[in-house]
Amino acid sequence: MSVKIAVLETIHDAGLEVLALTSNVEHFEGLSRAELLSVIHDYDVIILKSNIQVDREFLERAQALKIVARAGVGVDNIDCDLLEEKGIKLITTPTGNTISTAEFTIGLIMNLIRRMPEINTAVQNNDFRRHLYEGRELSQLSIGIVGLGNTGMAVARRLSPFGCKLYGCDRTMRRETIFADLGGKMVETIDEMLEHIDVLTLHVPSTDKTSNMVNESVFNRMKKGSFLINTARGDIVNKKDLIEALDNGVIASAALDVIHPEPPYNAAPEQHDFSHALINHPRILFTPHIAASTNDAQKRMSLQIAEEIKAFFSD
């Protein structure tokens, strides 16, 4: 019998073409939750990203489910304990978007320290007074990286040749030697790096321990005029405290690829009335969760998922 696969969110065609050779692949992108719950009852595999909640209600409807395939890294939208309880395999792609996210992070850092958003706004208003927009050299800055998993280490490797000072914080400390080889100093807690750094970049998952981790206490210990980068998860940063830090000048500017709650990424402007205080702040560069949105990363993740699904059903 052919394996039945339901694609609930769009992924790259490369992996789907591989799966279609041996499986029955059906598409349900764009359906409401109620509509999805009505169609998932007899599928062996579901493929999704971060928008669909796989919770008890979902799994009670998906009676035939054997695999949940998540194209990406974070699993905060999936009840992993319940998957394990039910014997359902979880597939993720922890290295698939590492390069794209790391490169995007470097781009955000450069945009902030050279004040690109401000400059772009100025010139669009016919203001070319370049003396108003002196930036900073990356080589003269100290960068604090919170989370030294695949993405955090990829960021460190790309920053090291610029000559900036690197500080890293990771709960496991298992990559201390590798980080030191890049010229970085590992610390056990975020507090130990705050007074030294000019840029704080976040690369940790959303958990009970990391939720609101970057808050008033953190901002109060940072240098005045520091920069914040978040390409991880929106709830890691306390919204109210960030706005206050921006308004009082502790944070010169912030680049956020994620916010909490997240906007409706698949809806056209006329289809929603979403608003968020962080999006419209004049010193925030906001991008709609696109750090991993390169053709290269999406193709890589799609193929990784396809190979793991094939391997599971060939055993």
Residues labelled as active-site residues: 233, 262, 289
How far is residue 14's CA from residue 104's CA, in Å, rounded to a whole number?
23
Number of neighbours of residue 4 by Cβ within 10 angstroms: 16
Secondary structure (3-state) at 46:
strand
Evaluate whether 203 touches 147 at the Cβ level (below 8 Å): yes
Beta pairing class for 184-187 and 199-202 = unpaired
- d(Cα 241, Cα 243) in Å, to the nearest integer? 5
For residues 106 and 227, give the distance between their C-alpha atoms in angstroms, rounded to a whole number: 13
Q: Which region holds residue 156: left if phi is over 0, alpha if psi is between -120 and 50, else beta?
A: alpha
Sign, CA dihedral 200-205-210-216, equals: positive
Note the Cα 234 to chain centre separation in Å. Answer: 9
Biggest alpha carbon distance in the chain? 70
Element (H, E) at 98: helix 98-113
CB atoms within 10 A of CB 137: 11
Instruction: Count CB neighbours of 204 within 10 A.
Output: 23
Return the beta strands (E) in the chain as ranges.
3-7, 23-27, 45-48, 67-70, 89-91, 142-146, 165-169, 184-187, 199-202, 226-230, 251-256, 284-286
* DSSP-H helix ranges across 190-238: 191-194, 216-220
Closest CA to 231 of 277, 165, 290: 290
Percent of the chain as helix, strand, coil, to the nearest 5:
40, 20, 45
